[in-house]
Amino acid sequence: MSVLNVPGYDLQPSAQRVPLKSNYITNFDFLNQYLFPTTQEQFLRDLNNFCPEINGSSFYPGDVATITKEGVQIARGGSDFVKIKEDDSHKVEFKPVLEVPPIRTQTKNRAEHKKQWNDVVEFIEKQFVEQVVENKAVQSWVEWQVVYQLEVFGQESSEIWGLDFAGEDASIIKGRTGKINIYEGIACSEFYRLIHHDTSWDYVGINGQYRTFKDIYRIRLGEFEKWVGEGKEKFPQPLTELFPAGPEMDRAKFMRDVKRWRATP
């Protein structure tokens, strides 16, 4: 529910408050991410890139918009009868894999999981960006204004990081960015093994420890372009670029298995 306050109109007090229904609630709220698959911030950002002359601002429940001939003023949280109890705007984040049961790390021992988690977080926050920027695929990510989300799943929950290749600088962002062009979700245990060259993508994929999707488009002044690709061309994704599949990875995995089999009584 949002509030509009329009001066100059002879309205009764009760009629000055106009509730606006913008999405589904209760049993149907899961439809929001598919029928309204964007956040306000993402839409405004795309709109600004398409046509900078159009003024826009986000408008949330409890905000009050005062419309005059001089313009519009929005008082954030200015309503005296509508308040946001919980910020659940992430529920309209377009993530097709959301309805699938979440990934869980395969490491059951809590002490070992904590060690693996710390190593993974340290890699993401201290080495990930540097390696991504050095990868030749970074040119595609920048050209297509990619906003990337990485989600790592632990024993009971997950954490999210992002990279905005259309931004001013290359830095890791903790938490959601409001827009996703490329998503990669992976179990902490398998990310840890990738970092330490102790697994292969065949194993990670077959065991359902990795999920991904992409929605690649770019908006420039008066232009909208969707990435389609030609033939078997695939748009590069950060994790599969940093840890490329191939004979080298497969051979290393095979040799590790051989050593383990030899050591088995």
Q: Where are the domains of the chain?
A: 3-90, 96-263
Q: What is the mean pLDDT of residues 182-187?
A: 96
Higher pLDDT, 2 or 248: 248
Which candidate, 213, 174, 175, 262, places its Cα nearest to that of 95? 213
Q: At 124, phi and psi to the nearest 5?
A: -60, -45
Cα(52)–Cα(54) distance, integer angstroms: 5
Cα(228)–Cα(214) distance, integer angstroms: 11
Which class does domain 96-263 fall in? alpha beta
Contact (CB, 8 A) for 181 and 148: yes
Higher pLDDT, 5 or 162: 162
Task: Tell me the pTM.
Answer: 0.72
Q: At 183, phi and psi to the nearest 5?
A: -125, 135
pLDDT (0 to 100) of residue 17: 37
Residue-by-residue DSSP string for 3-47: EEE-TT----GGGG------S--GGGGGGHHHHS-S-HHHHHHHH
Confidence of residue 93 (pLDDT cuts 50, 70, 90): confident
pLDDT (0 to 100) of residue 7: 44
Confidence of residue 20 (pLDDT cuts 50, 70, 90): very low
Q: In Å, how far are 186, 228, 243, 244 from 165, measured between CA atoms?
A: 21, 19, 20, 21
Q: Which of 22-26, 54-58, 188-192 has the highest mean pLDDT?
A: 188-192
